[in-house]
Amino acid sequence: MKKTLVSALTTALVVGAASTTFAAANPFSDVPADHWAYDAVSQLAADGVIEGYGDTTFRGNQNITRYEMAQMIAKAMAKTDVSAADKALIDKLAAEFSDELNNLGVRVSNLERNADMVKWNGKAEYTYWSHRDKDTTDPDLKKHNDDQLLFRLEPTAEVNANWHVKARLDASTDLAEDSADVNGKHGGDAGKQDTDVKLKRIWAQGNYGNFQVKLGKFAQIDDDSIFDTTFSGAEVKFGNKVTFTAGAGRLDFSNYYEDEDGNKYGPQVLNNGQVISKDDAANYQYAGLGYADGKFVGGVDYHHLNADSFDYVVDPNAKANVEDNANIWLAKAAYRFDKTNALNGFYANNTSADDFDKAWSVEYDYKGAEAENKGTWGAWAAYRNLGYNTALFSTYDALLQGQKGWEVGANYAPFKNVVATLRYGNGKETWTNDKIENLFGRVEFFF
């Protein structure tokens, strides 16, 4: 039985780095065929990476030096008929033993040494959406269509064995206006920015067994339900199957309750058009318990925000602040019956709000497109009620904040790393009780 060059070189790396004994193996006379390293050393010899000694012995009980290890790597580097996986491991070995290889006359640059410490992922996507209010007399709200392009990069840099630095950079364009759109809320203030690139997230993350810490700007605990946004601060997480998460910081409210043209709307806007919001950022704290085991995932979370944007006005003509805090409790759960069928949902309540204080969703999923597997597809149906004062940063696209109704959708992977998604929502605007209809389509190219 043969092992690949990857297996052989991995064995060599472990032995060389740890300065332990290298057990002998055939075709050397001093290696038994049942030794644990038999296959690895046989493959190394067959590939010409190791030669042993002139007396047909391997002398496996003798420690090898880093210089001898470098000689093996140099021979491996000279091979051309290797797979991509083999080449990646050889490059990693070359980076580890670069000083010794340089002494042998095999040059390895610092760039090559550090290349595997920075990884880049990302995507390019096209999005089309159409929002329609069937009962309004406002022509701007009757039907509003838009399409956008987004290019996203997500680098990850290794600091050491425990710490990484991660980021997200977005560049987006509103195709209807051929202009920059960096606010990320369905075109808000499109074309009014002097740049089309924005650093959306950047944080340092430390992982220590069952303990994790994040510092910087990142997505928080409920990025899968009603808090699809980022904040600047710190987060700690403990546990494995049962987890406890807590965080605190500041959250951007500069474009909260804005329409596509940058105009303010919602419960905190008086009839005379006066906007009583004063603060562009909210103080934010959250904590949650989570559980994940096999087919079931669930959790209970608490979010507290304090900002002038939370002026829950009972009388639309009033000018006095009633409440500038949001205290939101949320319970969520998901269960996968098998590889085909799954059910998920959440319920949330803002105990500080008198109106639009609840949000909930129930969704059934059938299969699902997998970017890495061409031809896979999925479909879903859901009912959602996304109260204005609770679903503050909703992650949903077919039914938006302040709307309730049915959603159906499907996705499909026509090619590897390409996914197309279509969503349709039909329901009501809870603020005006107008009938609404939304269409959302997206094509994503992952790399």
Q: Which residue, chain included where needed, has tokens 């012995």?
A: 57
Q: State residue 242's pLDDT score.
A: 94
Token output for 198: 């924005």
C-alpha closest to that of 391 among 252, 228, 264? 228
Q: Which amino acid is present at 415?
A: F
| Domains defined for the chain, CATH in brackets | 5-108 (no CATH), 118-446 (2.40.160.10)
Give the pLDDT mean for 156-167.
92
Q: How confident is the model at residue 328 (pLDDT cuts 50, 70, 90)?
A: very high
Instruction: List the helix and strand counts (H, then E) for the chain.
Output: 7, 17
Query: Between 356 and 309, whose confidence is greater?
Result: 356
- Of 318, 313, 210, nearest to 272 (Cα)? 318
3-state SS track over 319-375: CCCCCCEEEEEEEEEEEECCCCEEEEEEEEEECCCCCCCEEEEEEEEEECCCCCCCC
Higher pLDDT, residue 223 or 299: 299
Residue type, 308: D
Angle (CA) 52-53-59 rounded to 5° is 70
Q: Which two tokens stand for residue 229?
A: 């946004």
Q: At how many degrees (to 10) do helices 84-96 and 5-18 cross?
A: 10
Rounded Cα gap, residues 87 and 74, in angstroms: 13
Q: Looking at the predicted structure, is the pLDDT value of residue 394 above 50?
A: yes
Band (49; pLDDT cuts 50, 70, 90): low
Which two three-digit tokens encode residue 311?
């002026």
Is the peptide bond prior to 27 cis by the omega test (within 30 degrees of 0)? yes
Task: Give the pLDDT confidence of 93-129 residue by residue, as tens digits.
Answer: 777 777 777 766 665 555 455 556 788 999 999 999 9
Whole-number pLDDT of residue 138: 73
What pLDDT is attached to residue 47? 64
* Distance linking the first and last C-alpha atoms of the chain: 36
Residue 131 has pLDDT above 60, yes or no: yes
**Structure tokens of 118?**
């920075």
What mean pLDDT is predicted for residues 128-139?
83
> For residue 15, what pLDDT is reported?
42
Q: What does the pLDDT read at residue 259?
A: 47
Residues found in the chain: 447
Q: What's the mean pLDDT in 414-435?
A: 93
Q: Which residues, in sequence order, are bridge partners of residue 426?
A: 406, 437
Q: How far apart are CA 44 and CA 46, in angstroms?
A: 6
Output the pLDDT for position 415.
96
Give the rounded percent of residues in the chain with a pLDDT score beyond 90.
Answer: 39
Q: Among all chains, which residue has been given the structure tokens 């970017």?
A: 371
Indicate the average pLDDT of the chain: 77
Q: Which of 19-33, 206-220, 338-352, 385-399 has the lowest mean pLDDT?
A: 19-33
Single out the residue of 426, 381, 432, 379 nearest to residue 404, CA to CA. 426
Question: Beta strands of 84-191 (E only): which ranges?
Answer: 118-133, 143-158, 163-174, 179-180
3-state secondary structure of 298: strand
What pLDDT, in 10s, does the model give residues 261-275? 444 444 444 444 444
Would the pLDDT of 327 be above 70? yes
Over residues 238-251, the pLDDT tens digits come to 998 899 999 999 98
CA distance 367 to 376: 8
Give the rounded distance of the alpha carbon of 296 from its chain centre: 21
Against a cut of 0.75, is the pTM above it?
no
Pair 384, 396: CB distance under 8 Å:
yes
338 vs 8, residue with greater confidence: 338
Q: How many CB atoms lie within 10 A of CB 102?
A: 13
Distance CA 324, CA 366 (A): 41
